[in-house]
Chain A
Amino acid sequence: MTRQEIMNGKKIVRDEDFELVQAINNGRTDLFQQMVEKYQQKIYNFGMRMCGESRDAEDLVQETFLNIFRYLNGFRYETRFKNWMYRVATTTCLKAKRKPKHAPERELSLEEFMPGEGEDLPDQAPDWAQRPLDQLLNEELAAHIKNAIIDLPKPYRMVMVLRDQEGFSTEETAHILDISVSNVKVRLHRARLFLREKLKGYFDHGA
């Protein structure tokens, strides 16, 4: 359970990791392994969603936990520990050298997804938007979605992964990435429109 408290005159967040973090910061560094075991799966998932390659994701996990180990003393309980950990992970990910195979860094404009005036628009959603989800989602489609997300420019990919895959709220995502709430919304909307185009292409030509 997470609750807010006042400690030494400052507002702090007391979450499920509060005591573990305090113990580590008070010298029980042997307990760090416990933290790693608890969160390695989450950070590895995040790494795979961001990088798409196991080796890159492993590097991200190692770098992230090393940075957490180095900087945990500076954690002031102003947020849930998990959110701070993702802040470390996203910063580590942003600093990682961009591989040429990844999507080029470019802005996605809303106009590129907007239907033009007078354009022939569907007056009914296609079959893939109406069929039950469990009948639709299979391994091939899941792989297609993963590849489409990897094709997103990094700032958009990061927002989409945090919001729609890691389950953070708009406000939490803004805090993790140190950007405004409106910026999160803009990036997320464009990322979703980008993914929708990829799904349209998949169902029109590939499925």
Chain B
Amino acid sequence: MAHEGHDHHKCMALFEQMSEYIDRELDDEARARVDAHIRACCNCQACYETLQRTVDLCRSSAEDYPLPSTLAEKLRAMIEAANR
């Protein structure tokens, strides 16, 4: 069930701004508005936490891939050919 303090229109407005909120790209006034709403609405709090976690997982999963052993030689040959 939606929380009894849940205001669908307010929640939808916040839903659209959630990434900017996570990225600290909202101005102080908008940020304070989102903070207050999240404190009051457990549905939006849950929505925020899952999106924040999604971003954390996306960032943390970005590790270096092992370079193929043939790549360095291919690049060297390509540059030599381009240099000629």
Task: Give the B-binding residues of A (Cβ under 8 A).
Answer: 29-30, 32-33, 36-37, 40-41, 44-45, 48-49, 54, 57-58, 61-62, 65-66, 69-70, 110, 114-115, 117-126, 128-130, 133, 136-137, 141-142, 145-146, 149, 160, 164-166, 170, 185, 188-189, 192-193, 195-196, 199-200
Separation of A109 and B50 alpha carbons in the complex (Å): 19
Q: A29-B83, A40-B72, A121-B43 are in contact. Are A137 and B67 (CB under 8 A)?
A: no
A44 touches B51 (CB 8 A): no
Contacting residues, chain A, for B18 (C-beta < 8 A): 189
Q: Is B36 an interface residue (CB 8 A)?
A: no
Minimum Cβ distance to chain B for residue A182 (Å)? 10
Q: B residues within 8 A CB of A61?
A: 71, 75
Bound-complex Cα distance A129 to B50 (A):
5
Is the beta-carbon distance between B58 and A58 smaller than 8 angstroms? no
Would you give the 0/1 interface string for B40-73, flagging 1 where the beta carbon is closer than 8 Å to chain A?
A: 0011011101111111111111111101101110
B:1-17 near A, CB below 8 Å: 1-3, 6, 8, 11-12, 15-16
Q: Are A45 and B19 in contact (CB under 8 A)?
A: no
Asked if B62 contacts A118 (CB within 8 A), the reply is no
Asked if B25 is at the interface of the complex by the 8 Å CB criterion, the answer is yes
B35 at the interface (CB under 8 A from A): no
Complex CA–CA separation, A61 to B75 (angstroms): 8
Task: List, in ascending order, chain A residues with CB within 8 A of B60's CB.
Answer: 133, 137
Which of B2, B50, B59 contacts A165 (CB under 8 A)?
A: B59
A191 CB, min distance to chain B CBs, angstroms: 9
Count residues of chain B with CB under 8 A from any CB of chain A: 48
Q: Are B50 and A146 in contact (CB under 8 A)?
A: no
Complex contacts, A122 vs chain B, CB 8 Å = 43, 46
Determine the residue in chain A with the shortest Cβ distance to B48: A125
B2 touches A192 (CB 8 A): no
Across the interface, name the chain A residue whose C-beta is closest to B42: A123
Taking the complex as formed, is B76 at the interface, i.e. its CB lies under 8 A from any CB of chain A?
yes
B3 close to A141 (CB less than 8 A): no
Contact partner, A192, options B42, B58, B82, Cβ 8 Å: B58
* Selected contact of A117 from candidates B8, B46, B67, CB within 8 Å: B8
A-B contacts besides A45-B64, A65-B79, A120-B2, 14 pairs, CB < 8 Å = A30-B83, A33-B76, A33-B79, A40-B75, A45-B62, A57-B65, A66-B78, A121-B46, A123-B42, A125-B49, A185-B20, A189-B19, A196-B50, A199-B53
A184, B8: Cα distance in complex, Å: 26
| Interfacial chain A residues near B42, Cβ < 8 Å | 123-124
A125–B46 alpha-carbon span in the complex (Å): 4
Contact A110 B16 (CB under 8 A): yes
In the bound complex, CA of A126 to CA of B45 (Å): 11
